[in-house]
Structure 1
Amino acid sequence: MLIKNIEQRIKINKIISISTIAFAVFIVIAGFFFAYRMIEDSRRSIYILDNGVPVLAKQTDVLLNRPVEYKAQIELFHRLFFTLAPDDTYIKDNIQKSLYLIDDSGKKEYTNLKEKGFYNQIIASSSMVSIHTDSIALNMEQKKFSFFGKQMITRKSSVITRKLITEGFFEDIIRSPNNPHGVILKNWRIINNEELSNQNKNSY
């Protein structure tokens, strides 16, 4: 009887020991798992400056929002590049801001328009130039965009409306104060800038 009791106790002790070891191993594995999850979660956390204030954001949220930022960058570039007033300083400031968002293809187009006397004509005729965005198409695989809009040139006596279709490519870069979206436009070119209408202001 005594021997049986001893054997039962030994079995119970073995079961308790094995259970304790298994539980300890489980705790260790669970600890490693949660630590790994925390590290991965911290890696996905980035800070975005909002008016100089760092705001915590998840990398997955930023990646999901990237197409919106691409379109915003494309629209911002076109608005800066094509919004002009009969003021040489205003034109240069807008062009300078736009060139932070694009590679040398933007500078080449600016030089081309300048050599043709486009900016001198704007100043001489006291014209205002603005654009309206119709749509922006993105090809995420090729990282290519197409911009569709209209360009309005408002003169003293008339309003000229021109079609504006451009295309190019986009690439991710480091965010900066001059390029808050962290996107650079590349190999940009104007595809179509034909005149759609030339209306006399008296006809309005």
Structure 2
Amino acid sequence: MFQQFKNIDTAFKHIKLFSIFLLLANMVTLCFCIYKSYDIVNKAQNRVHILYNGKVLEAIASDRKTNLPVELRDHIRTFHEDFFTLVPDDKQIDATVTKALYLADGSAKSAYDNLKEAGYFNNLISGNINQQVNIDSIRLDLDTYPYGFTCYATEKLVRASSTVTRKLITKGKVSDLKTETDNNPHGFLIQGWEILQNNDEQEKKNTP
């Protein structure tokens, strides 16, 4: 009789263990199904269909993080090109610098005001000087936020008689506004912008 109770107790333990295992297996299966469902929905949302010449083409929408370095560099490059590419015309200078100021905080406005008070823009106009800038490289620090950067560029001040080449180095940080506008299509904002170096390197006489 005791052997019979022992067999029943053993069978009950086996049934209990089997039930627990079955429950865990069902939970794992359920979690896997939920994960795959979200994954399928996410992939479906990233598919974009484009109508081109009467044909439906499928494209894949990539995550912004994938293109973050490219977008940051383009934002920084656009800011510097708008701020430093100048012609001897006060209205044109105001227009291009204003475009640049949409991409940065008050640090850029302060730099612009300092240059204006020092008569920098008046000297460009009176000397009939065209200022051009070429971005050589942009170093990014994506490990910290806001993202730090150092921009290396070459400036050319073109006069009728000569061309002066300058080495330009600036630094700052970029934050994500998470909102794009017509004046700021990437939705980034340059902060704490500083001009580290803007020195003449070479002067070349222009031949008539």
TM range (shorter): 0.7 to 0.9
Q: Which amino acid aligns with 1:150?
A: T
**What residue ranges of structure 2 are gaps of 5+ in the alignment?**
1-25, 49-58
- Identical aligned pairs, as a percentage? 33
Structure 1 distance, partners of 2:35, 2:116, is 62
- After superposition, what is the alpha-carbon deviation per residue over 1:43-69, rounded to whole angstroms, capped at 9, x for unaligned? 7x499xxxxxxx97232xx21110011
Corresponding position of 2:173: 169
Give the root-mean-square deviation of aligned CA atoms. 2.6
Alignment partner, residue 36 of structure 1: 38
- Describe how 1:82-93 pairs up with structure 2 within 5 A: 82-93=84-95
Structure 1 contact 46–58 (Cα < 8 Å) conserved: no
1:187 and 1:63 map into 2 onto residues whose CA distance is 23
Taking structure 2 as the reference length, what is the TM-score of the superposition? 0.73
| CA shift in 2, pair 1:64/1:177, >3 Å | same
- Unpaired runs of 5+ residues, structure 1, are 1-24, 48-54
Letter in 2 for 1:189: E
Distance 1:33 1:182, change over 3 A: same
Matched, 1:58 2:59: no
Q: State how far apart, in whole Å, the 2-side matches of 1:181 and 1:170 are.
A: 11
Aligned-partner residue type, residue 120 of structure 1 = N
Query: Which of 95, 106, 109 does residue 107 from structure 1 map onto?
Result: 109
- Residue 194 (structure 2) aligns with: 189
- Please list every run of at least 4 consecutive aligned residues from structure 1 whose deviation after the TM superposition is greater than 6 angstroms: none
Distance 2:68 2:36 in 1: 29
Out of 76, 80, 83, the position equivalent to 1:81 is: 83
1:154 paired to 2:155 = no
Equivalents in 2 of 1:157, 1:77: separation in Å?
29
Partner Cα distance (1:139, 1:176) in 2: 25
Instruction: State how 1:117-128 maps to structure 2 within 5 Å.
Output: 117-128=119-130
Q: How far apart are residue 35 of structure 1 and its match?
A: 3.7
1:136 alignment partner in structure 2:
138
Counterpart code for 2:122: N
Corresponding residue SS for 1:58: coil
Provide the residue aligned with 2:149 in structure 1: 145
Task: Measure, in 2, the Cα distance between the counterparts of 1:105 and 1:58.
Answer: 33
| Equivalent-residue separation in structure 2 for 1:182 and 1:115 (angstroms) | 30
Q: 2:53 maps to which residue?
A: none
Which residue in the other structure is 1:14 paired with?
none
Structure-2 separation of matches of 1:199 and 1:152: 10
What do the CA deviations read for 1:105-128 (whole angstroms, capped 9, x no partner)?
A: 110000000000010111111110
